[in-house]
């Protein structure tokens, strides 16, 4: 068995705003393994400035992984705990290699084109007109769950945008989520959570910054709007620490991004603990190319999910790989009449 890695730069169709700034490009890395003439592909979904493994030795660790690929997926996963995006790429590459079709990692009704997964439509930050235009597009596209990133423009303007959606669609017709990416202080947060509750917002992701467990615990116990932990999960590798966080803070939901939290095995650890504690969850992609998004989506389907997931980011790029993944009426599906356009090295 042999392995190589290489970098790929994705270009956004239009700059995409978060509370951390504007994204124009997205760097990603591919891990390709080969054995007996078969090839498998995995994506190491690094996100600069957010991934815990955004480190100077990242590429060196990719090379180490290639040099030690014969260790196999389980030993490599254990050895790569501080590099969750590489853990994810390793899991994906080995599953791809083992499959009859390197892009069908988890055969199911989904990959046969017989079932779809409900997803949220994502509204990126920008000025008020730009965000309003995105909302209009999502409504016209048939989404019944919209997630809006907040925390970059004036709160009053963001609340006005959400109120505008509510005027068009009642909560029974449209689920609204917001993602603050830790934009608010603990002192600000409760007032904002109360304002969101008046608009019947489903949940808010990461209202305050990470590692403020006491403040987050208070918010989760007092909030009228359910809170979902997102960035809070990043960098916690040990199962005991995972349980400690969730048992102490008691959020209403957690958000699972396999590239950030140790791939499918790491995500499954979080799910198991959350289920035991009665905490809800859903899965979200983290700006991977269609290679990574495909793996996450297929895996997510096997979890028998019902609520909308965060899997709608494949259409963001000008140079993404064409794939059978498609979105229609607020759901992601797999069109078996379409083929992958991806060239192995």
Catalytic machinery residues: 149, 257
Nearest to 311 by CA among 329, 335, 287, 281: 287
Cα within 13 Å of Cα(175), Cβ side: 18
Identify the three-state secondary structure at position 70: helix
In this structure, what are the phi and psi dihedrals at residue 222, rounded to the nearest 5 degrees? -105, -15
How many whole angstroms separate alpha carbon 297 and alpha carbon 284? 9
**What is the number of residues in the chain?**
345
Nearest to 216 by CA among 256, 180, 181, 249: 249
Distances (CA, A) of 69 to 2, 6, 234: 7, 15, 25
Q: In which residue are the tokens 């790929």 written?
A: 8
For 127, the token pair is 């000025």
* Long-range contacts from 302-308, C-beta under 8 angstroms, 24+ separation: 302/106, 302/108, 303/271, 305/117, 306/118, 307/118, 307/280, 307/282, 308/118, 308/119, 308/120, 308/144, 308/145, 308/175, 308/282
Helix residue spans in 199-289 (DSSP H): 213-222, 239-249, 263-277
Nearest to 190 by CA among 242, 225, 162, 157: 225
């Amino acid at each position: 068995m042999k392995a190589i890695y290489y970098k790929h730069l994705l270009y956004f169709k239009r700059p995409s705003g978060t509370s951390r700034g504007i994204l124009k490009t997205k760097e990603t890395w591919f891990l390709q393994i080969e054995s007996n003439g078969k090839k498998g592909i995995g994506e190491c979904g690094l996100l600069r400035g957010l991934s815990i493994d955004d480190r100077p030795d990242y590429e060196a660790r990719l090379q180490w992984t290639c040099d030690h690929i014969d260790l196999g997926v389980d030993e490599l996963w254990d050895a790569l705990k501080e590099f969750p995006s590489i853990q994810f790429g390793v899991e994906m590459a080995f599953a791809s290699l083992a499959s009859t079709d390197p892009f069908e990692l988890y055969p199911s009704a989904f990959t046969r084109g017989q079932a779809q997964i409900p997803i949220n439509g994502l509204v990126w930050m920008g000025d008020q007109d730009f965000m309003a235009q995105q909302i209009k597009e999502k409504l016209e596209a048939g989404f019944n769950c919209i997630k809006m990133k907040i925390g970059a423009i004036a709160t009053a303007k963001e609340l006005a945008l959400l109120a505008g959606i509510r005027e068009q669609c009642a909560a029974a017709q449209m689920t609204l989520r917001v993602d603050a990416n830790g934009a608010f202080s603990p002192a600000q947060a409760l007032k904002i959570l109360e304002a969101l509750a008046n608009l019947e917002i489903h949940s808010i992701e990461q209202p305050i910054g990470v590692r403020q467990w006491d403040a987050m615990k208070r918010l989760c116990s007092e909030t009228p709007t359910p809170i979902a932990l997102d960035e809070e999960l990043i960098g916690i590798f040990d199962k005991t620490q995972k349980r400690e966080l969730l048992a102490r803070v008691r959020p209403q939901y957690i958000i699972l991004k396999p590239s950030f939290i140790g791939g499918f095995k790491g995500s499954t650890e979080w799910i198991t603990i959350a289920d035991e504690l009665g905490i809800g969850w859903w899965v979200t992609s983290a700006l991977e190319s269609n290679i990574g998004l495909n793996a996450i989506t297929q895996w997510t389907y096997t979890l028998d999910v019902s609520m909308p997931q965060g899997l709608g980011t494949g259409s963001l790029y000008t140079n993404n790989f064409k794939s059978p993944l498609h979105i229609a009426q607020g759901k992601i599906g797999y069109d078996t009449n379409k083929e992958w356009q991806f060239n192995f090295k």
